Chains A and B, each alone.
Chain A
Amino acid sequence: MTADKNKKTLVSSDTSPPRPMTMTQKIIAAHAGKDYVSPGEIVMANVDLVLGNDITSPVAIAEFDKAGAKSVFDRKKVALVMDHFTPNKDIKAAEQCKCVRTFAKKHGVENYFDTGDVGVEHALIPERGLVTSGDLVIGADSHTCTYGALGAFSTGIGSTDMAAAMATGKVWLKVPGALRFKLTGKLGRYVTGKDLILHIIGMIGVDGALYKSMEFTGEGVHTLSVSDRLCIANMAIEAGAKNGIFPVDDKTIEFLKEHGADEPRIYEADPDAEYEKTYEIDLSEVRQTVAFPHLPENTRTFDEIGDIPIDQIVIGSCTNGRLEDLIIAAEVMRGHRVAPGVRAIIIPATQKIYLEAMEMGLLREFIEAGCVVSTPTCGPCLGGHMGILAEGERCVATTNRNFIGRMGHPKSEVYLASPAVAAASAIAGKLAPAI
């Protein structure tokens, strides 16, 4: 889609819409060249960015070639991020990256990221300013929904969708209905966006938002940092949602400017937009929350958690590998050592975060406390490498999924938590709250 065309659709949606729409519906309508879309309607929409990683892209590339596509629709609007099994964990993983590297070179894909400048994709893309408010982003990675934090519509799709979008710049979308989460108040000490999203998933279930948008509103939104919002939107998929989305405010604008993103296109939900359900949440009442195996909806707070000894903690991933996450983990660990028998793995999500954490002295603190610090990778989050669990082992992870076998042996266990809780647990040698 050209920028000009984008403007035109924006202008037409500037006039009062014939019927009220949610924020998500407005962005989809603008990208489908329509004044109005209704839930359930299927539209073809123009995409501003198509994303793939080293696992999903090879399948997409094979489909792209098989379909006889000659070139990508826009060399600036495709991003290929080699983050899952990198640095290449074995020969097959190396071959997959080679396939994507060759494709990127052949088609002149400008946003190709490989070992040396790569980061976990959903931390990297906002950091590089590749997404802005009002964009429509699709990615062959389920956590593509992360960019809703910046007021974009973004959603995960599969490899065939990715191939079609790389060729045509378009994607078919069924317009989602929406759930509204009205936030008030402010999160307490060591209670983070991770605790909030786990709390919500525990409340509505892993299919509680199936096919729908999760729209976050209310004055409480503005108290959340952009880092917290990215974490919350990131896990919308764990409630089955198509996307999670936040309104654009000063913090969003500041973040976009700082990272050199395009001018934001701001869409607001109509005051009388229809929501299937509204949940009101007082942020000050949210407590440190842990999701027990083997579903993100199995949430408990520490008054319901007994003695759960652990073998490993992982702090990292697209959910919680940002600088703010490392800062809070270091703060909790300061003056303590990792408990004997616990392996503590810290994974800054991007090279920039790694460098900043190094310059702040955080990496030294982690290492002196008994942690290892890894190069950016998705690695253990999906049981790839860099921290796989043996039978019967337990890990507290700041990642996003705790399905059977997710981090290794099918009889291992993953407990999802915030960086503060993971750090506190590393010190205690068991699941523990940060105090």
Chain B
Amino acid sequence: MKIKGNVIRYNDNVDTDVIIPARYLNTSNPKELAAHCMEDLDPTFVSRVKKGDIIVAGANFGCGSSREHAPIAIKESGIACVIAKSFARIFYRNAINIGLPIVECDVDAGEGDVLTVDFDAGVIVNETKGTSANFSAFPPFLKTIIESGGLLAAVREGKL
């Protein structure tokens, strides 16, 4: 799989409370959640995000609560992939379990840069800056979940 998109850039420790504030957790409707995605950190996110955009962030992305509503809101917003230096562990597994592509990589990218992510080759190319970075592939177990289309699909198919 290969994707190409514009970067929306954030710093370290983007927590799940800013990704989707708890005051909106009285619903699990993806569209309602996406309407408030990133609201407390970046009120412009919802109006400027375009299908296929890529979030690039620093360390510990998705820290805080276990709310799966966070990756659901990001995915529903049209974000094609989240690249971060590191992910908080519950967010990491939630993203894999619901099929939101994520990449752990310290990539040099600024707001608006155009990135190409090649998941099979494990390479991110920054088309704007002319730089590239490598990332390691998922271990086989996680690859099975991703290729099955999520955890429950893998369970149903008896692959785990």
Contacts and interface: CB of A to CB of B under 8 A. Distances in A.
B77 interface: no
B151 A42 contact: no
Given A92-B26, A207-B59, A157 B155 contact: no
Interface stretch (B16-24, B49-57, B114-122, B124-132): B16-24
Interface in A129-171: 139-142, 144, 156-161, 163-164, 167-168
A81 interface: no
Given A58-B28, A382-B65, A405 B89 contact: no
B102 to A, nearest CB: 13
B134 interface: no
B17 A160 contact: no
Interface string B88-126: 111001100110000000000000000000000000000
A172 B88 contact: no
A384 B152 contact: no
B151 A160 contact: yes
A93 B88 contact: no
Given A56-B67, A160-B152, A295 B13 contact: yes
Interface in A387-407: 401, 403-406
Question: Most chain-A Cβ atoms within 10 A of its Cβ — which of B15, B41, B86, B153?
Answer: B15
Interface stretch (A63-71, A256-264, A342-350): A63-71
B14 to A, nearest CB: 10
A158 B68 contact: yes
Interface in B130-160: 139, 141-142, 145, 150-153, 155-156, 160
Contacts of B153: 67
A141 B23 contact: no
Contacts of A167: 152, 155
A207 to B, nearest CB: 4
B141 A42 contact: yes
Interface residues of B, number: 43
A53 to B, nearest CB: 10
Interface centre among A160, A210, A211 (most CB of B within 10 A): A160
A142 B90 CA distance: 8
Contacts of B22: 55, 382-384, 406
A295 B63 CA distance: 11
B66 interface: yes
Given A66-B152, A156-B90, A404-B40, A96 B63 contact: no
Contacts of A141: 65-66
Contacts of B46: none
A62 B152 CA distance: 11
B155 A67 contact: yes
Contacts of A401: 15, 17, 64-65
A206 interface: yes
A307 interface: no
Interface of A: 42, 44, 55-56, 58-59, 62-63, 66-68, 84-85, 89-90, 92-93, 96, 139-142, 144, 156-161, 163-164, 167-168, 172, 206-207, 210-211, 240, 242, 295, 382-384, 401, 403-406, 410
The 3 nearest A-B residue pairs measured at CB: A92-B26, A158-B94, A160-B97
